[in-house]
Structure 1
Amino acid sequence: MNKYEQLISWVENIKDRNHSSAAALFIMKDNQVVLEHYSGTHSNTKNSSPITATSQFNVASARKSYLGLTIAYALYEGKIRSLDDYAVDYFEEYDKTLLGHTTLRHLVTHSHGLNMNDSGMVYREFESGEEWAYRGINVEMMTQLIHKLYNKSFPELLRERVFIPAGFTETAWQKADHDNLVKVVINPGEPAESKIGASDDGTESNLFVSAREFAYWGNLHLNKGYMNGKQIVPKEVIEIATQVHSPHYKNTNLPQNGLFWFVQNAPALQSEIGERVPKGSYQILGVTGPTILVIPEYNVVVAKMYNKRYNYEGDNYLQYLREFSNLVADIFAQ
């Protein structure tokens, strides 16, 4: 079995075990496409269309990496003074006592300690900077902040500054269903659902991306904003987005984050990046299964796609993500 067949076998095994109807794997090495693999169908229903290069997957919370780039722009352009600014200076609508000493750094690294209940009430789980927890309220807050700072949504900002210059035509927040959109399997015993939204302003989880443009997004970061023979994004903006911004944790097993990217610093047991992946690598994940892994030391970008909610079997997801990233690292270290 050659090195790429090992990765394809792993991807297909997860697809079958977790009842995803679709999978895709797209790998770039030294800015060249070295593997494209597509399998399955757009839905788990009879006569559903096969997955192809133009199939666009709902990337769920992997959209955080797109939001992160606009936050990097805001820092680079001075619209945000510092990640160590207090959140109360930017979010007047939130309770000042509740926010306390929470900083923007805490918000972008999942170390803020805030949560929201089903009735919309915000409460505190732990003191900012002391623990790590993915909750989503920070993504909502930073989405609101970018809109306030630029007087436009972060997807609109990205379309102007990145997607159009890069020639991306298969990356968009979708409000209307069409043939290239892959549906999401919620319950394997029921038909997959269309996960389009009512808005394209980034407030909903309706970003759809093809596997190749997902990989190109990773490769744009790998190349520090250089693409198609031009500097599309300032190098400094990419560096801000992908460097470690996490506070110093007493618990060394907690993940390290850039601007929402998971970044490999010292290997950590609770990180989604395996311990054999080189330092400086970074990854993003969505609950429907999409991941981008960027390994600068090997000049490699790997994008893999699924369409099953809780694709990696719920609480076991870290095991699978670490296993796959270690496999990629082992293959390209040879």
Structure 2
Amino acid sequence: MNKSASFLPVVEHVKKTSGTVVGTGAAVLVIHKDQVVVEEYWGKQGTAADARLVQADTQFHVASVRKSYIGFAVAYAVHHGYIHSINDAVTKYLPELDSDLLSQTTIRHLLTHTHGLNLLGDEMIREFPAGSSWSYRNVGIEMLTQIVFKTTGKTIAQIVSGQVFEPLGLRESGWYGHFHERLVEVIRLPGDTSWRTSDSTDGDQMNMYVSTRELAYWGYLHLKQGIIGGKQVVEKEIIELATSLQSPSTIEKDLPQNGFLWFVKDLPAAKTEIGEMVPKGSYQILGYTGVTLLVIPDHDLVAVRMFNSFGSPPGYDYLADVRGFGDQIMQCLEELDS
């Protein structure tokens, strides 16, 4: 059977999603056993009549997928001893924060979305005791970027660029303060007020754009445990830290499970964001633009889907759709092996 043809249902799944969300272009890329078996682009980068076609060097806004790069920087800081342990209290590194409010809150809690903190206007509040539940709040991400900078003296962007982008020659991944022709226009829902831009290029803000092929390569680097072309480009221990289960055992078993911000598949969990058919040991990162990167080590596979949408239109079940993406890949693998 032609391997590329066997993954056509994945392409159709992504095309169906692109027709459901509010956007103008999309892409999908699958690497299986070191071979690119699917790579398709369609639509335009924006709404203008003369908008550039989506193509291999088009860079999509990856939204929260950026957190996998932040997780990498934290793993780098831990591996090299800048951070002693992820079980250290946050206030050990950020003593200026409210020690009463952050009592018992550790770096592990920040990495696994179990810190229980949120912002109410400019005030930080506690929604639940650290380590007792799970909630997706960006206040923990901001603390992590501060801790990385204070301990290493480097920004997220400097660490990732020095460790990955420069050694691998990646020039279509980064944080951008100014728009250029390869960046997509991000299409928002009418009345959306949550979108924001930034001119920071430090890697601490939600203004990261990556091409489909380089996001797949980022996943491939993790799949191969840091080895590219027979060379250990990134220490294996950094990758293992980032992608292994780090969620505290104190949370309820059906809550999502995380590594260093990656969603990881371990024990069955009702609220996981990874498809039911996807095997244990897999990991995934996703963003509000619908961008998804899924790594399935058991099948030597990396899959990426890209959109230039932002948010979920009425009637669109984002969680069911992203789970369906992973399950469709697994169905294709089953057909390929049969």
- Bin for the TM-score computed over the shorter chain: over 0.9
Aligned partner of 2:263 in structure 1 is 262
User: What does residue 97 of structure 2 align with?
Assistant: 94
Residue aligning to 1:298: 299
Distance 1:110 1:315 in 2: 24
Residue 198 of structure 1 corresponds to which residue in structure 2?
199
Q: Tell me if structure 2 keeps the 8 A contact 1:224–1:238.
A: yes
For residue 161 of structure 1, what is the aligned residue in structure 2? 163
- Quick check: 1:58–1:195 contact (8 Å CA) kept in 2? no
Q: What's the counterpart of residue 280 of structure 2?
A: 279
The sequence identity of aligned pairs, in percent, is 41
CA distance in structure 2 between the partners assigned to 1:139 and 1:146 by the alignment: 11
Residue number in structure 2 paired with 1:58:
61
Deviation at 1:251, TM superposition (A): 2.1
Matches of 1:324 and 1:129 in 2, distance apart?
Answer: 30
Letter in 2 for 1:135: R
Return the letter of the residue paired with 2:161: R
Q: Which residue of 1 aligns with 2:212?
A: 211
Report the alpha carbon displacement of residue 150 of structure 1 after superposing the two structures with TM.
1.3
Which runs of 5 or more residues in structure 2 are unaligned?
none
Give the structure 1 partner of residue 183 of structure 2: 181
Deviation at 1:264? 0.2
What is the Cα deviation at residue 48 of structure 1?
A: 1.2
Distance, in Å, in 2 between the alignment partners of 1:313 and 1:303 is 24
CA distance, structure 2, for counterparts of residue 315 and residue 251 of structure 1: 27
- Kept in 2, the 8 Å contact 1:289–1:312? The answer is no
Partner of 1:106: 109
> What corresponds to 2:125 in structure 1?
123
Q: Find the aligned partners of 1:178 and 1:84 in 2 and give their Cα distance.
A: 41
Partner Cα distance (1:65, 1:313) in 2 = 28
| 1:195 positional shift | 7.1
Q: What SS class does the counterpart of residue 187 from structure 2 fall into?
A: coil
C-alpha RMSD of matched pairs (Å): 1.9
Give the match's secondary structure for 2:37.
strand
Question: Which whole-Å CA distance do the structure 1 matches of 2:191 and 2:93 have between them?
Answer: 45
3-state secondary structure, aligned to 2:309: coil
Q: Is 2:46 the counterpart of 1:43?
A: yes
Calculate the TM-score normalised by the size of structure 2.
Answer: 0.93
Cα drift, residue 126 of structure 1:
0.3
- Following the alignment from structure 1 to structure 2, what is the Cα–Cα distance between the partners of residues 269 and 166? 38
Whether the 8 Å CA contact 2:173–2:209 is kept in 1: the answer is yes
Q: Following superposition of structure 1 onto structure 2, how do residues 23-42 of structure 1 map, counting pairs within 5 Å?
A: 23-42=26-45
- Structure 1: state its 5+ residue gaps: none
Alpha carbons of structure 1 residues 296 and 324: separation in structure 2 relative to 1, 3 Å? same
Name 2:248's counterpart in structure 1: 247
State the distance in 1 between where 2:164 and 2:190 align. Answer: 36
Q: Please, which moves more after superposition, 215-224 or 318-327?
A: 318-327
The yes-or-no answer on 1:21 pairing with 2:24 is yes
The CA distance in 2 between the partners of 1:130 and 1:312, in whole Å, is 32
Counterpart Cα distance in 2 of 1:206 and 1:157:
17
- Quote the Cα distance in structure 2 between the aligned partners of 1:315 and 1:93: 42
- SS of the equivalent of 1:304 reads strand
Find the counterpart in structure 2 of residue 152 from structure 1: 154
SS in 2 for 1:255: coil
**AA at the equivalent of 1:134:** Y
What displacement does 1:202 show?
Answer: 1.5
1:214 and 1:226 mapped to 2: Cα distance?
16
Task: Give the direction of change, closer, same or farther, for the CA distance of 1:312–1:322 in structure 2 (3 Å limit).
Answer: farther
Which consecutive aligned stretches of 4+ in structure 1 deviate over 4 angstroms post-superposition? 311-315
CA distance in 2, matches of 1:195, 1:123: 23
Give me the whole-angstrom Cα distance separating, in 1, the residues matched to 2:320 and 2:250: 22
- Report the Cα offset of residue 188 of structure 1: 6.2
Q: C-alpha separation between the residues in 2 aligned to 1:27 and 1:139?
A: 29
Q: CA deviation at 1:177?
A: 1.3
SS at match of 1:33: strand
State the Cα distance separating 1:229 from its structure 2 match.
3.2
Give the secondary-structure state (helix, strand or coil) at the position aligned to 1:42: coil
Q: 2:31 and 2:313 mapped to 1: Cα distance?
A: 24
